[in-house]
A and B are shown apart, each in its own frame.
Chain A
Amino acid sequence: MIPPVIDNLDYREQSPEVKDRFTKLKQRPVVLSVDNLGKTFPTPGGEVTALKGVDFEVFRREFMCVIGPSGCGKSTLIRILAGLEVETNGQVLLDGNPVAGPGPDRGMVFQSYTLFPWLTVKQNVMFGPKMEGKSGTSVEADARQWIDLVGLSQFENSYPHQLSGGMKQRVAIARALANRPRILLMDEPFGALDAQTRAQMQNYLLQIWRNLDITILFITHDLDEAVYLSDRILVLKADPGEVDEIIEVPVPHPRSLDQFITPEFVATKHRINQLIHPESESKEDVLPFPRMTAEGDDVE
């Protein structure tokens, strides 16, 4: 439960330096532009609308999170962006050019572990360049650099089954970055990790993002994760999946774990919670089960 005192603080209130940061951010070129995107799936019971009229832009070097209740079409959205699914209407522009099909200009990190088990860490990272027909010592040196970047130089000759979940996802990030993508799409990449590893991975990711010229679109269902990582948060609502609000996170950069209890952080989190879990719905969370203990007992 979020203490009610925070309610007084408006998540839209930004300190001057945060405000300045957003002004600059919006002056940067648009990397990804999503224009009136819609997606319907045919089912035996008629068409189901997964996404409807989704409009947003991601600026260069921005870190944007997408959050929403389950079934809001987060995964469908990122799969369309990656080119793994085809939109029903609207379009996706990357640097102003419409995207068609998957390509190395949009790197993707999946929730499930997708390292090729038959390749070593280094060979996995070299997979993208190899598909482009590149090979040789320069590619290998390049791959080593990316592996260094995610701190796994000792494991470059290990096979994926020898790595922990967090290490696997770090390799997956390195593998996607080795293609020098314009944008990195991340579909709940830390969803399968335990809390400690996840916190560690969030830190690694922020460092990578800060050190590279890379734009990130990150899907999550974890409020803390969204607020901690993002410049802006795209909140989707379900049935049909529409943009509810795009929140500018008022938490200043650089981010640190201490900020989790700052008023800005808590207020933002509270706002997202309101959006994806409205009060009207929380009343429905009360179980119909009759009370079997005395009212007002010491547990209460």
Chain B
Amino acid sequence: MSRSTTSPPPREPWFAVRRDLSAKRATVLTIISFALPLAIWAAVSYLPFLWHPDIRLQLSADREDVTTVYIAGDRVSKGFFPEFTEAVRAQNQAVEEQLKSEDPLGGISDSSVRRANKKILRHLSPILISNGIITEEQSKDDETIYKAWGDIATGAWVPKSPALTDENIEIVKRNWAVMSEVSPVYDSDNFISVPIISLIPQGKPSNPDYLPDPGQVFKSGAKAFTSPGEGDRPSMIQRVRHSIFIVFGGFLLAALVGVPIGVLCGTYAFFSKLIEPFTDFFRYMPAPTFSTLLVAIFLANDAPKIALVFVGTFFQLVLVVANTTRRLDLPLLEAAQTLGANQRQLLTHVVIPGILPNLYNDLRILLGWAWTWLVIAELVGVKSGLTEFIETQGRFRNFDMVFPIIILIGVIGFTTDQILALLRGVIFPYTEDGAAASANPLVKALMFIPRWFRQAVSERLPADLANHKSLSTKA
């Protein structure tokens, strides 16, 4: 018996059919819900043994007789990479053998050998750029590159990130030996005219370009957002504003027209039978099919885009609002009638205030619906906003630029929805949400705003008016 008094309380199970978890557990799981996809993305990106089917070239080389050119930054498949490097090595072998033969130039003119050599010289520049020795604009600054060859050969400077393979350092030393003999500094007119050998392509395992790593995406995103707009290329903030304008424009128009119609349909059988059947039919016609038509009607600027969001949202909205209106408790209407409400008062004093909380929720969900039309709407007519950016960057396969925008659209939609959900309790304190919301610390903080507002207003009111007001409430 004494044992039972000291036994610890039974542990709540993590898995129980239709049982709520404690607030703490729920929060933990919510955090994991976001952290997990991010962790998987990071793991696939940063752990080379997980996937990484490609090699991303840090340094490339030209091959004779092959038209496909790979430059540093390109990705080649893991299967092809050894073939590639072998081909370049074989090429080098051939050059060495040529040099040992009686005809070292192989019948090629001095100038073309020089040209080929200058190319080889510049193959090092991607390594120099990523090591911060030269900038992107200096990638053809032969003088500096030439000096870097020397520094590497003599060991005065060792590239760190990325480092050169031992094989390539040997090649640098070998080339530098013959190059420095001709001229210790770069001299375009007095450039080595004996063939030098090519650096061997080197690279690191990587994922395909369509899966950039989180760090890269974050960097590109930050860059995209901080770079100002120029000419007719708007800045990212302007693009975001434009996209929000399209979505909210279309949505608000749809709500402005659709809510009254929906309420009428839900209230009067007359409007329901007159309007809903056609609306029901129309909503099955996908909004994008109207895009060319909308351009013909509204021409090429923002109007057809807003119209597309409108067409995509309006018909759903009418039906949803009509249904919500119909769901209003019938006994409430009957009670109002027995209290003397006439037909008009039923609409204004019972139906409309009665459906407001649900209407708010409907509109919240339909706003999410409107967001899904964004990309299609912005492709209509002249491409614009965030979509234009995605389109352009996607065509250049700059997926590290595309990802931040996709994520951004999600973040905007999601946070708007969450804020609206939270505000519901504040706006409608008489709902169950309202009770829950007033316990939410964030809402408590938000409630400060209306309180502050009221206080500010009453302070600014003329004293006699404010007094009068307080008297009348006391009476």
Residues of A within 8 A of B (CB): 82-84, 101-104, 106-108, 110, 112, 114, 116-119, 127-128, 130-132, 137, 141, 159-162, 172, 175-176, 179, 185
Q: Which of B332, B340, B353, B428 has the most CB of A within 10 A?
A: B340
Residues of B within 8 A of A (CB): 329, 331-332, 334-342, 345, 349-350, 353-354, 356-357, 428-432, 434-435, 472, 475
Chain A residues with Cβ below 8 Å from B332 are 114, 116
Cβ–Cβ contact A137 & B472, under 8 A: yes
Q: Smallest CB-CB separation from A162: which chain B residue?
A: B435
Assembly CA distance A161 to B438 (angstroms): 14
Cβ–Cβ contact B356 & A118, under 8 A: yes
Identify 28 residue pairs between A and B in the complex whose beta-carbon atoms are under 8 Å apart, listed by A's number. A82-B338, A84-B338, A101-B337, A102-B334, A107-B338, A108-B335, A110-B331, A110-B335, A114-B329, A116-B332, A116-B336, A116-B353, A116-B354, A117-B431, A118-B428, A127-B341, A130-B349, A131-B336, A131-B340, A131-B345, A132-B340, A137-B472, A137-B475, A160-B430, A161-B432, A161-B435, A172-B335, A176-B338
Cβ–Cβ contact B339 & A175, under 8 A: yes
Dominant secondary structure at the B interface: helix
Chain B residues with Cβ below 8 Å from A106 are 338
Assembly CA distance A81 to B345 (angstroms): 22
Partner of A112, one of B331, B339, B340: B331
Cβ–Cβ contact B334 & A110, under 8 A: yes
With A82-B334, A83-B337 given, name 5 new contacts (CB 8 A). Answer: A108-B338, A117-B431, A128-B340, A159-B434, A161-B431
Chain B residues with Cβ below 8 Å from A84 are 334, 337-338
Cβ–Cβ contact B340 & A179, under 8 A: yes
Contacts A132-B340, A137-B472, A179-B339 given; does A118 touch B432 at CB 8 Å = no
A113–chain B nearest beta-carbon distance, Å = 8
Chain B residues with Cβ below 8 Å from A116 are 332, 336, 350, 353-354
B431–chain A nearest beta-carbon distance, Å = 7
A78–chain B nearest beta-carbon distance, Å = 11
Chain B residues with Cβ below 8 Å from A107 are 338-339
Assembly CA distance A161 to B332 (angstroms): 15
Cβ–Cβ contact A118 & B354, under 8 A: yes
Q: Which of A83, A102, A132, A179 has the most CB of B within 10 A?
A: A102
Q: Smallest CB-CB separation from A114: which chain B residue?
A: B335
Assembly CA distance A107 to B336 (angstroms): 10
B275–chain A nearest beta-carbon distance, Å = 27
Cβ–Cβ contact A117 & B430, under 8 A: yes
Cβ–Cβ contact A104 & B356, under 8 A: no
Assembly CA distance A131 to B336 (angstroms): 9
Cβ–Cβ contact B331 & A114, under 8 A: yes
Chain B residues with Cβ below 8 Å from A161 are 430-432, 434-435
B465–chain A nearest beta-carbon distance, Å = 17
Q: Smallest CB-CB separation from A128: which chain B residue?
A: B339
Assembly CA distance A82 to B475 (angstroms): 35
Chain B residues with Cβ below 8 Å from A118 are 353-354, 356-357, 428, 430
Chain A residues with Cβ below 8 Å from B435 are 161-162
Assembly CA distance A175 to B336 (angstroms): 10
Cβ–Cβ contact B337 & A176, under 8 A: no
Chain B residues with Cβ below 8 Å from A117 are 354, 430-431
Assembly CA distance A141 to B428 (angstroms): 26
Chain A residues with Cβ below 8 Å from B335 are 108, 110, 114, 172
Assembly CA distance A108 to B335 (angstroms): 7
- A-B residue pairs, 9 tightest by C-beta: A104-B340, A114-B335, A159-B430, A102-B337, A108-B338, A128-B339, A131-B340, A131-B341, A114-B331
Cβ–Cβ contact B353 & A131, under 8 A: no
Contacts A114-B331, A118-B354 given; does A131 touch B431 at CB 8 Å = no
Q: Smallest CB-CB separation from A172: which chain B residue?
A: B335
B273–chain A nearest beta-carbon distance, Å = 20
Chain A residues with Cβ below 8 Å from B475 are 137, 141
Cβ–Cβ contact A102 & B432, under 8 A: no
B254–chain A nearest beta-carbon distance, Å = 25
Assembly CA distance A179 to B335 (angstroms): 13
A119–chain B nearest beta-carbon distance, Å = 8
A176–chain B nearest beta-carbon distance, Å = 7
Assembly CA distance A175 to B339 (angstroms): 8
Assembly CA distance A108 to B341 (angstroms): 13
Partner of B339, one of A159, A176, A185: A176
Chain B residues with Cβ below 8 Å from A108 are 334-335, 338
Q: Smallest CB-CB separation from A111: which chain B residue?
A: B331
Chain B residues with Cβ below 8 Å from A104 are 338-340
A258–chain B nearest beta-carbon distance, Å = 35
Q: Which of A118, A130, A132, A179 has the most CB of B within 10 A?
A: A118
Assembly CA distance A23 to B110 (angstroms): 138
Chain A residues with Cβ below 8 Å from B430 are 117-118, 159-161
Chain A residues with Cβ below 8 Å from B357 are 118
Cβ–Cβ contact A131 & B356, under 8 A: no
Assembly CA distance A175 to B335 (angstroms): 10
Chain A residues with Cβ below 8 Å from B336 are 116, 127, 131
Chain A residues with Cβ below 8 Å from B431 are 117, 161
Q: Smallest CB-CB separation from A181: which chain B residue?
A: B338
Chain A residues with Cβ below 8 Å from B428 are 118
Q: Smallest CB-CB separation from A79: which chain B residue?
A: B334
Partner of B349, one of A83, A101, A131, A137: A131
Chain A residues with Cβ below 8 Å from B429 are 159
Assembly CA distance A119 to B429 (angstroms): 10
B462–chain A nearest beta-carbon distance, Å = 22
Q: Which of B331, B356, B431, B434 has the most CB of A within 10 A?
A: B331
A1–chain B nearest beta-carbon distance, Å = 37
Assembly CA distance A176 to B335 (angstroms): 9
A156–chain B nearest beta-carbon distance, Å = 13
Assembly CA distance A172 to B334 (angstroms): 13
B358–chain A nearest beta-carbon distance, Å = 11
Assembly CA distance A118 to B337 (angstroms): 17
Assembly CA distance A108 to B340 (angstroms): 11
Chain A residues with Cβ below 8 Å from B345 are 131
Chain B residues with Cβ below 8 Å from A128 are 339-340
